[in-house]
Structure 1
């Protein structure tokens, strides 16, 4: 993309010539070092010769962007500051344009192919088992274009997304497990835990007492570490999660779930057993 291709309010003289870019860099260095300015230090910093810095300094003085106060003493004028601000604003606008409107168009995401897909083919998108799936053909509300070939069950790169992948967020059921000082896993009804586990896609455990509960309920945890973020992410991708957590870790999980608007229910294992 050429600079001329961007909107007029995003044009920057700094981007249009090496000379302007160098003057911008030197003016920034003067503003940082003034009033005592070492031409050699500026030259070393921006990668030009000391003579080149001297020549540019004279141009900046002629442009009224810099005042020369004596040998080796320079100060940026109000006009110089205004030019720096305007060029910096233009650079920021250009960077934002590139980031949001250009790079965003070429972002590549990954999905699991449900069938043979050829590069350049438009595919339909669905969320299943917590993963984005791509199906050959434009048959759904959400589509994308493949940027790689793929066979069924292989990863495929996607870009040029259209529409929104429609799926329901998962929910989290939280069973609070007492610490070992308060009775630990023995205070939790394993039959109730097993019943909940069978109704969920994943079982997560936070803390050794919670792992013991899962084992006693004859279930192997799917998630054992980093559960604060892992449980939240799994639910956001449509999976229902049973979280067994030691009581002193409960708030860390529920705070994160609440912050990300994930639906959850807290079950007290001891009270549940008494019913």
Structure 2
């Protein structure tokens, strides 16, 4: 009720509020009267109401409680019934406890066990996707590292030697490209990119899942990527293109 009053103040239509929250106009009138008496709402002329400072403070306290409740629902309640997918490392039957391991950035179900466990909700042959739920423990894997190779824009006189890409490409990991100039440089090298459209979200996700990434990016694309990498706490470094 307070949210609706705050959204429409000072001219508040009790009929509109009643339709929005699904109660009668009389109920709205009763609620508003209680809010005025509690000091959360101040009444002006006819149909004019404003939420007081006390009302705002009360709303803030309730939204904090609501956020904590939603976290509880998402992590403790929904998390316990959530079904995820993993790659079966061996044939596995439904209802089997398996270990969870991360390989090449993909979750795998290992019948031999692991630091984290789950129960299969489907059966699967080796190499197939299997549904897992009832998670316990933490999947043990290290975050990957992202190396960023800056590529000058088309208006810049500087140029990079395409051979620099193979020098920095990870032996096991991904090569991602962001920007037309970066793609042109990669096209002249002997390296095939794994991510033709290396979005900031995709590169950060790969790093979070344990993959080393070489990101070849136009200079004006780099701030978006490094910002996302910092937000996700993914180790990264920007290579010094002047040294090439």
TM (normalized to structure 1)? 0.65
Report the 3-state secondary structure (helix = DSSP H, G, I; strand = E; otherwise coil) of the residue aligned with 2:169: helix
Corresponding position of 1:111: 86
- Cα-to-partner distance string for 1:196-218 (whole Å, 9 max, x where unaligned): 12535111111111111111112
For 1:157-172, list aligned pairs within 5 A: 157-172=131-146
Shift of the 29–249 alpha-carbon distance from structure 1 to 2, 3 Å rule, reads closer
Corresponding position of 2:236: 264
Structure with the largest fraction of helix: 1
For 1:93-104, list aligned pairs within 5 A: 98-104=73-79
> Is 1:189–1:269's contact at 8 Å kept on the other side of the alignment?
no
> Is 2:177–2:198's contact at 8 Å kept on the other side of the alignment?
no
Query: 1:42 and 1:252 mapped to 2: Cα distance?
Result: 42
Corresponding position of 2:157: 183
> Is 1:114–1:133's contact at 8 Å kept on the other side of the alignment?
yes
The RMSD of aligned alpha carbons is 4.6
- Cα-to-partner distance string for 1:67-94 (whole Å, 9 max, x where unaligned): xxxxxxxxxxxxxxxxxxxx99999887
> Is 2:176–2:198's contact at 8 Å kept on the other side of the alignment?
no
Corresponding position of 1:136: 111
> Is 1:125–1:165's contact at 8 Å kept on the other side of the alignment?
yes
Corresponding position of 1:76: none
Query: 2:156 and 2:144 mapped to 1: Cα distance?
Result: 31
Gapped regions of structure 2 (runs ≥ 5): 29-61
Shift of the 150–114 alpha-carbon distance from structure 1 to 2, 3 Å rule, reads same
Query: 1:42 and 1:269 mapped to 2: Cα distance?
Result: 60
Report the 3-state secondary structure (helix = DSSP H, G, I; strand = E; otherwise coil) of the residue aligned with 1:117: coil
* Aligned with 2:167 (options 195, 199, 224): 195
Question: Which structure has the bigger radius of gyration?
Answer: 1
* Aligned with 1:120 (options 75, 78, 95): 95
Shift of the 177–200 alpha-carbon distance from structure 1 to 2, 3 Å rule, reads farther
Shift of the 200–44 alpha-carbon distance from structure 1 to 2, 3 Å rule, reads closer
- Cα-to-partner distance string for 1:126-159 (whole Å, 9 max, x where unaligned): 100110000124x322111111111111111111
> Is 1:188–1:270's contact at 8 Å kept on the other side of the alignment?
no
